[in-house]
Amino acid sequence: MPRPHRVHKTAQTARPRALRSAAVLLTMGLLLTGCASTDGEKPAGDQGDPASTSATQGGGAGASTTQASASEGQGEGAASVDPADFPASNTTGLTRLETLEGTGVVPKSVVSNQHGLMITNNVTYRHNVILFDTETREVVQTLEDTVDTDEMGIEGLSGEVSGAPVEAAWTKDGQHAYVTQYGIYDVGTKPDDNCTAGSAIAPSLVYRYSVAEKDWDAAYQVGRVPKYAALSPDNTRLLVTNWCDDTMTVIDTQSGETEHTIPLDTMPRGIVVLPDNKTAYATAMWADKLYRVDLEAGTSEVVMHTGKNPRHLVLSPDGKTLYMTVAGADAIVKLDAETGKVLDTAPAGDEPRSMDISADGTALYVVNYHASTVSKIDAETLEIIDTAPAGVNTIGITYDKPSGEVWVANYGGTIDIYDDTDGAGPRAGASAEASTDSAEG
């Protein structure tokens, strides 16, 4: 595929800051009733910059930074140890190492490629992605969300368009990231989380980022307001939930062709794909449903009616257990991945949204949006075993396997980094000093 138009890139270093403490509100139940909440891009009709709400909530684009070379890094040679040498993750505690601010992020999500790179996706607030080296924690690239649709070969579009990066799915080798674009600007009517304009909202795209090219190298047509993306374990299929179409797009990653557009229900979001590469689960967030999806047949069926606003899904490393956050019920649900049977339900925090799981599968990491905290949960018992304060409105989270670190994206314009190896990680020597300095600041 022809390479897209080259866009401007910058790089910056980051500065630590003090964390803003918040209390955790834990409430039980799966079947709470009440008004549906938005998915967190912003309340309906508001596409403003969350970082501008308070000067203390983060360092937006105007924050003072020191320039670094954009050619440095790309994550090669990041410090790591064998994760097998780490203690069991359900026996350790979260130690905050650093808060990154002044990097220009207003992150919707942060995702590790497990090979030394982090990608943060800044939606409409910055219209870019920012990549960090996990060892130096410096920005190695800032890439705008602009592509040339003619060079990309996108039917029905012409010339340059911009997107709005939401979530990313990395290939297993860490060389490519598929990034959903909330909308295509300026094509059709401006999208919003309530899908107010209906069919006047244009179908959007998923861009593919290449580590080697340091640029977008492909784009794929999907539905309206795509939110989450996931790859099958063998990387042959890309799955994308289309928030305003109530569908899932399934793309053959080799040909770039759409295999299926599968009906779900109102405002679908989270996705996982089972080890068989043929079966997936997806949440319909505003329909309060969990679906099982047959990727071969292109069909879906309701597995269960959930509590209010099921949002995110993760799969245990062995592929046998499924975990789901239910944001409106402040709960987490554990299910048998093969049968869809509920195994357990427990409180998580004040509006649990995104989550990730440790490399050994013993601990879950959940961001609580309203409490601005991170909950660490025992994957077997669903007991909350640790709670850490974070930045304003925690929204995205990722576990970096080589380092045993947890990176948290905050809508307030910061990224928090925690060690979860109790000093066994590659950066353990700096942990105590970084934590003390930040606590005083």
> Does residue 79 carry a pLDDT above 60?
no
CA–CA gap between residue 385 and residue 398 (Å, rounded): 18
Q: Which amino acid is at 146?
A: T
- Residue pLDDT, tens place only, 85-96: 899 999 999 999
> Does residue 17 carry a pLDDT above 80?
no
In this structure, what token pair is assigned to residue 226?
A: 């795509």
Higher pLDDT, 424 or 375: 375
Residue 90: what pLDDT? Answer: 97
Q: Which amino acid is at 281?
A: Y
Residue 82: what pLDDT? Answer: 73
In this structure, what token pair is assigned to residue 252?
A: 């053959």
Residue 83: what pLDDT? Answer: 74
In this structure, what token pair is assigned to residue 32?
A: 């709470």
CA–CA gap between residue 201 and residue 187 (Å, rounded): 8
Q: 226, 249 in Cβ contact below 8 A? A: yes
- What are the domain boundaries of the chain? 50-440
Distance of CA 401 to the CA centre of its chain: 16
Higher pLDDT, 54 or 187: 187
CA–CA gap between residue 334 and residue 345 (Å, rounded): 6
> Does residue 225 carry a pLDDT above 80?
yes
Residue 226: what pLDDT? Answer: 98
Residue 230: what pLDDT? Answer: 98
- Closest by Cα among 413, 409, 412, 404 to 431: 404
> Does residue 241 carry a pLDDT above 50?
yes
SS (H, E, C) the chain: CCCCCCCCCCCECCECCCCCCCCCCCCCCCCCCCCCCCCCCCCCCCCCCHHHHCCCCCCCCCCCCCECCCCCCCCCCCCCCCHHHCCCHHHCCCEEEEEEECCCCCCCEEEECCCCEEEEECHHHHCEEEEEECCCCCEEEEEECEEEHHHHCCCCCCCEEECCEEEEEECCCCCEEEEEECCCECCECCCCCCCCCHHHECCCEEEEEECCCCEEEEEEECCCCEEEEEECCCCCEEEEEECCCCEEEEEECCCCCEEEEEECCCCEEEEEECCCCCEEEEEECCCCEEEEEECCCCEEEEEEECCCCEEEEEECCCCCEEEEEEHHHCEEEEEECCCCCEEEEEECCCCEEEEEECCCCCEEEEEECCCCEEEEEECCCCCEEEEEECCCCEEEEEEECCCCEEEEEECCCEEEEEECCCCCCCCHHHHHHHHHHHHHC
Residue 435: what pLDDT? Answer: 35
Neighbours of 173 (CB within 10 A): 11
> Does residue 3 carry a pLDDT above 50?
no
Banded model confidence at residue 48, pLDDT cuts 50, 70, 90: very low
Residue 357: what pLDDT? Answer: 98
Percent of the chain beyond pLDDT 70?
A: 78
- Residue pLDDT, tens place only, 154-209: 999 999 999 999 999 999 999 999 999 999 998 989 999 999 999 999 999 999 99
> Does residue 308 carry a pLDDT above 50?
yes
In this structure, what token pair is assigned to residue 91?
A: 């026996």
In this structure, what token pair is assigned to residue 282?
A: 């997806």
> Does residue 102 carry a pLDDT above 80?
yes
Banded model confidence at residue 30, pLDDT cuts 50, 70, 90: very low
Residue 261: what pLDDT? Answer: 98
- Residue pLDDT, tens place only, 258-302: 999 999 999 999 999 999 999 999 999 999 999 999 999 999 999
Residue 164: what pLDDT? Answer: 97
23-27 average pLDDT score: 32
The residue written with tokens 């307001």 in the block is: 225
- What residues are paired with 226 via a beta bridge? 242
Banded model confidence at residue 84, pLDDT cuts 50, 70, 90: confident
Please name the residues in contact with 254: beta carbons below 8 A apart, sequence gap of 6 or more. Answer: 236
CATH of domain 50-440: 2.130.10.10
Residue 393: what pLDDT? Answer: 97
Please give the C-alpha separations between residue 87 and each of 299, 362, 363, in angstroms, as whole numbers.
41, 11, 12
